[in-house]
Amino acid sequence: METPLLVFVLLPLVLGGAILVGLYILASLMPGVARQGKAAEVTTESVPARGPEYVQRRARRSAAYRQGLLVFAGLVVLSIIEFVLASLGSTALMFIMIVFKAALIMYFFMHIASVWRTEEAH
Amino acid sequence: MSAIAESPQIQVRRNRMGMWLFFVSEAFLFGGLLISRFFLWGNTRPELPQVVPLAITGTLLLSSFFMNRAETAIANDDRKTFQRSLLITALLGVIFFLGVMIFEWGWTIEPDGTFLLGNHIHPTSGVYGAVLYGMTGMHALHVVSGVVLILIIWNLGRKGKYSADDHWGVEATAIYWHYIDLIWVFFYPALYLIGTAVPAGH
Amino acid sequence: MRFFKTGLVKGILVGLLWWLIGFMLVEAIRVVMGLPPQWNTSLPAGPAVPQDTLKWIVSGGLAAYEPAMVVAAIFFVIGFMLGAGTMSDWLKWTRGVDTPMQHGPKEGQPSWFRYLSVDYSHKIIGVQYGVTAVILLMFAGTLALIFRVELAKPELQLTLFNDNLNWFNTLVSAHGMIMIGSILLGVGAMSNYLVPLMIGANDMAFPRLNAFAYWINVPGALLLVTAIFIGGWNTGWTGYPPLSAQAPIGVQYFFIGVFFLGLSSILGSLNIVVTTLTMRARGMTMFRMPIFVWAAFSTALIQLTATQLIGLSFLMVAMQRILGLGFFNPGFPDITALAPAQLWEGGGNPILFQHLFWFYSHPAVYIFILPGLGIISELLPVFSRKPLFGYKWIALSSLSIALVGFLVWAHHMFVSGMNTYLRVPFMLSTLLVAVPTGVKFFSWLGTLWGGRIELKTPMLFALGAISVFLIGGLTGPPLGTVTTDLQLHDTYYVVGHFHATMFGGFVFPFFAALYYWYPKAIGRQYNERLGVLHFALMTPAFWVMSLGQMLAGTRGMRRRVADYDPAWGIDGVQLAVTIAAFIIALSVAIMVINMIVSARRAPKAAANPWRSRGLEWQVPSPVPELSYATAPIVVGEPYDYGLAGSTYVQFAPPTLAPVHSAGVTGGD
């Protein structure tokens, strides 16, 4: 069995896919394709940068960012515990850590609850 | 025939359900790989350096954080953070992929221009090589597709496609990327932590 | 010349181009890396005389270029999908171009053009599925006729097999797998055409995905057929390693073809589940759905999850063949060639393949039969003019067959050498399947009991299905019981058993469905007399075939063997089975002719020729482009035939666009 064959099959597929995507992105950057506007023209704020609504939005936004950061910190801590537990040889406890990690990712990052939510889109 | 078109809310709900059913389906693929690992390796694993897997696991976790940040940003109309976080996510994804390829699979280019594969473990090294390369390879394939999707939505976001009310594309990519991370949460301990390490050439 | 602009032809042409590109890419990389273009240097790189090229290919000579062939096949599928235009909307989305949903025939093209091109209407896609299924059915049936001729007498008769017995195994394997592909497509035809119509939706939840899921079958089926002609494969449809790890190159095309058929199953079933859960008409609760929708829903749940495992198991063998990943290789021969640091012993296990494979392939049996059983339950009340007996039980029995089906896979492996303590639990779970299946049988009997039965062709086929499925069902327990299975494993008894379940669970109900919904889909009534003739030829012939196979099996005839001992005294039985097979083929030909001719010549069909209560029969035949211009509201039970004053469905007056009818719970 020739081992470098991994190169022959996987590399072409991966590289070919990457090249295709690259071409696609390049093609879409070219003039002539319909463009709704450049990045610079896009307004970063849809709400005027003043007033109570703006303050409220800012607060909501930073709360959302903070939640992401907290979940990430939790995942890091759990991963470290998982690694330490594995070095100690405690597979069962390690598995519990894995389940916790999976639950955190599914609940906070993947919004699994939204599958059952019916009233609104996001 | 426009009567078939539903309101975007209803369609997004269907899309979301379809996406999760796809995840359920994929879970059986990855579950099959995990079962193969336990069937073939039992309570052993090949003895491999621990640093690289740990590092790439951290990379993927970090990329998941930035993906979540990007989704939160577009849901709150913060385009600058959205675009930046997406690029960081894609970059971390590429680092993860190259980490698997170069360090874990050990692809090196020799001075004479030929490729060399497997400085730790060879794909043909019995079941250890087979399962390790099979599982990391299947996961890496998903990582590549995820990076492609992220680059697509980055490009669309650059054109001003998404808004706080209408960003299903971003949400789909985000949960797909988190799903890839979720798979790795199970794959990493199965490949590198569980079981007695069997040294090479025993 | 319009024909060359259809998606089918464009797909094949672009696919062939991509095939060449894929082949060249791998070979170019090999050459650049300083490797010989040939992968397996022990095989001849080409025929000695150029005139022998075809012979060289057919005898599997391309195995010398196996990695290039595999990559080329994957490229072929991608090229086909791009060329056929199934992905053009999605590719536009990646560039930020929105594409509104287009329904209806294309501008300036005749109506047949839609059937050969990508179209998003579920009614078109359902017909595409059905026609492809029948074509594959006839192709695979023809393969069976060839080897049945060989089996009609002891010793070898056909020169084809005298030259190379590999051909016999190839034909048997191809018959099995292409039939399975045909059945999957037939199931797709029924669920795609009927589910949205039956639940009062105008289309599936994801029409583009639906079209994609159909079209990926076409290159998949083409690869399966190609596999026969590039060396074939001698493993049977199961493809067990280690044999499949050494089989001719055709096995790779078989793997890839099945892989994409499986992808179609997964995407199609995902669509069915979402459609069923979110798009039901107002007032249609889960327990007011037509019983076929329950069956299709349960089927979709199995297809969605289990199919990944057959893809994975075939992928693993393909990887073992071309990359040397030794999943199923107990000892690795090249071990001395590796550096000391890479020395890990072999340790692969072929039984792992059987576990993964049967984890799909046993539930797959329920994928094949559940929609068919749903069709039987759907037709009996209509033609008996009586309510369906035990609606809820039968709905839940479909779901429970689907769930129990996941727990029985190892009964195929009693003699495989797996741990013996697994045998009894799997025997018990296998026999458990008889319970929900029995529920269905009693419900059918209860429905027929005292009904005013009209023996129209669909009803005849439904009754034939019950009789044949009963044969298949009753011969199952001896195979599920360990003690008897040890004797009967891999004999013609198994062949007879599963042909009876496949015919009773799929083929007969599928034909019944074809006849029953033909007026609704085509708008014309088929020829009733030819339909009855089809039934009268096929049913007795099938009884002879199936029972004859079982008889031969109990005398010692083994599966996938071209010859047998005259001393067993089964010559007469084998001849009868062969004759019966030809009669079945003839009857199917009668059906195809009937359908083709009736589509042009037959009288126009009424909107509701069967006096059915189903939603789809309340709209004109053929179903208009927009099936339900006014939204249907479900107000009663679906199968209350013969009960005075009961209504199942009302149509909202068009003025009340958003329906606010009181007392009706939203089915959304």
User: How far C82 CA sits from the closest chain A CA (Å)?
Assistant: 13
pLDDT in tens, A68-94: 899 999 999 999 999 888 888 888 888
Q: Does C275 lie in the same domain as C141?
A: yes
Residues of C in contact with B148 (CB under 8 A): none
Mean pLDDT across the stretch C406-414? 91
Residues of C in contact with B112 (CB under 8 A): none
Asked if residue C60 belongs to a domain, the reply is yes
Confidence category of residue C507, pLDDT binned at 50, 70, 90? very high
Residues of A in contact with C29 (CB under 8 A): 7-8, 11-12
What is the C-alpha R_g of chain C? 26
Count how many residues are written for chain C.
Answer: 668
Domain boundary among C52, C79, C94: C94
Asked if residue C241 belongs to a domain, the reply is yes
Q: Does C138 lie in the same domain as C41?
A: no
Q: Does C395 lie in the same domain as C479?
A: yes
pLDDT at A40 over 50: no
Confidence category of residue C448, pLDDT binned at 50, 70, 90? very high
Asked if residue C213 belongs to a domain, the reply is yes
Q: Is any Cβ of chain C less than 8 angstroms from the Cβ of A95?
A: no
User: How far B83 CA sits from the closest chain A CA (Å)?
Assistant: 10
- Mark yes or no for CB contact A46/B161 under 8 Å: no
Q: Is any Cβ of chain C less than 8 angstroms from the Cβ of B152?
A: yes
More confident residue, B105 or C188: C188
Average pLDDT over chain C, rounded to an integer: 89
Q: How far apart are CA B102 and CA B117, in angstroms?
A: 9
Q: Which domain holds residue C172?
A: 119-331+346-601
Q: Is any Cβ of chain A less than 8 angstroms from the Cβ of C256?
A: no
Residues of B in contact with C97 (CB under 8 A): none
For chain C, the domain total comes to 2
Mean pLDDT across the stretch A52-72? 86
- Mark yes or no for CB contact A98/B185 under 8 Å: yes
Confidence category of residue C654, pLDDT binned at 50, 70, 90? low
Q: Does C145 lie in the same domain as C272?
A: yes
Q: Which residue of A has its CA nearest to C319?
A: A6
> What's the complex ipTM?
0.91
User: What percent of chain B has pLDDT above 70?
Assistant: 89
Q: Does C395 lie in the same domain as C457?
A: yes
Q: Does C88 lie in the same domain as C134?
A: no
Going by DSSP bridges, is the β-strand pair B44-46/B196-198 parallel, antiparallel, or unpaired? parallel
pLDDT in tens, B34-85: 999 999 988 888 888 888 888 899 999 999 999 999 999 999 888 889 999 9
Asked if residue C645 belongs to a domain, the reply is no
Asked if residue C428 belongs to a domain, the reply is yes
Q: How far apart are CA C459 and CA C508, in angstroms?
A: 10
Q: Is any Cβ of chain B less than 8 angstroms from the Cβ of A57?
A: yes
Catalogue all structural domains in chain B, each as residue range(s) with its CATH number: 52-196 (1.20.120.80)
Q: Does C136 lie in the same domain as C7?
A: no
Beta bridge partners of C31: none
Asked if residue C613 belongs to a domain, the reply is no
Q: Does C61 lie in the same domain as C155?
A: no
Report how far apart the first and last C-alpha atoms of chain C are (Å, whole number): 45
**Cβ contacts of A117 within 8 Å, gap of 6 or more:** B13
Q: Which of B22, B128, B169 sits opposite C270 (nearest CB)?
A: B22
Neighbours of B111 (CB within 10 A): 5
pLDDT in tens, C216-238: 999 999 999 999 999 889 898 99
Q: How far lies C275's CA from each of A111, C112, C123, C207, in Å?
A: 22, 27, 14, 10
Instruction: Using alpha carbons, select from C579, C541, C595 the residue that is nearest to residue C134.
Output: C595
- Mark yes or no for CB contact C29/A1 under 8 Å: no
Substitution target from C74, C106, C202, C344 for chain B, most B beta carbons within 10 A: C344
Q: Does C263 lie in the same domain as C137?
A: yes
Instruction: Using alpha carbons, select from C379, C198, C372 the residue that is nearest to residue C272.
Output: C198
**Cβ contacts of C633 within 8 Å, gap of 6 or more:** C281, C282, C283, C649, C650, C651, C652, C659, C661, C664
Q: Which of C94, C329, C343 sits opposite B200 (nearest CB)?
A: C343
Q: How many CA atoms lie less than 13 Å away from C282 in the CB half-sphere?
A: 18
Residues of B in contact with A91 (CB under 8 A): 194
Q: Does C263 lie in the same domain as C319?
A: yes
Q: Does C584 lie in the same domain as C457?
A: yes
Contact of B49 with B138, CB cutoff 8 Å = no
Instruction: Using alpha carbons, select from C494, C100, C637 the residue that is nearest to residue B3.
Output: C100
Q: Is any Cβ of chain B less than 8 angstroms from the Cβ of C360?
A: no
Q: Is any Cβ of chain A less than 8 angstroms from the Cβ of C95?
A: yes
User: What percent of chain C has pLDDT above 70?
Assistant: 95
- Mark yes or no for CB contact A28/C95 under 8 Å: yes
Q: How far apart are CA B178 and CA C294, in angstroms?
A: 33
Residues of C in contact with B155 (CB under 8 A): 96
Confidence category of residue C505, pLDDT binned at 50, 70, 90? very high
Q: Is any Cβ of chain C less than 8 angstroms from the Cβ of A115?
A: no
pLDDT in tens, C314-337: 999 999 988 888 899 887 545 455
Q: Is any Cβ of chain B less than 8 angstroms from the Cβ of A52?
A: no
Q: Which residue of B has its CA nearest to A4?
A: B117
- Mark yes or no for CB contact A57/B76 under 8 Å: yes
Domain boundary among C61, C94, C127: C94
pLDDT at C658 over 70: no
Substitution target from A8, A11, A119 for chain C, most C beta carbons within 10 A: A8
Asked if residue C642 belongs to a domain, the reply is no
Question: Domain holding C319: CATH number?
Answer: 1.20.210.10
- Chain B: touching chains (3 or more CB pairs < 8 Å): A, C
pTM, rounded to two decimals:
0.89
Q: How far apart are CA B83 and CA B77, in angstroms?
A: 11
Contact of C401 with C367, CB cutoff 8 Å = no
Q: Which of B16, B72, B123 sits opposite A64 (nearest CB)?
A: B72
pLDDT at C55 over 80: yes
- pLDDT value of residue C656: 46
Mean pLDDT across the stretch C52-60? 88
Asked if residue C551 belongs to a domain, the reply is yes
Residues of A in contact with C91 (CB under 8 A): 24
Q: Does C132 lie in the same domain as C63?
A: no
Q: Compute, in degrees rounded to 10, the torsion defined by CA atoms C135, C138, C144, C150.
A: -120
Domain boundary among C601, C622, C637: C601
Count how many residues are written for chain B.
Answer: 202
Q: Nearest 5 degrees, angle CA C359-CA C360-CA C362? A: 80
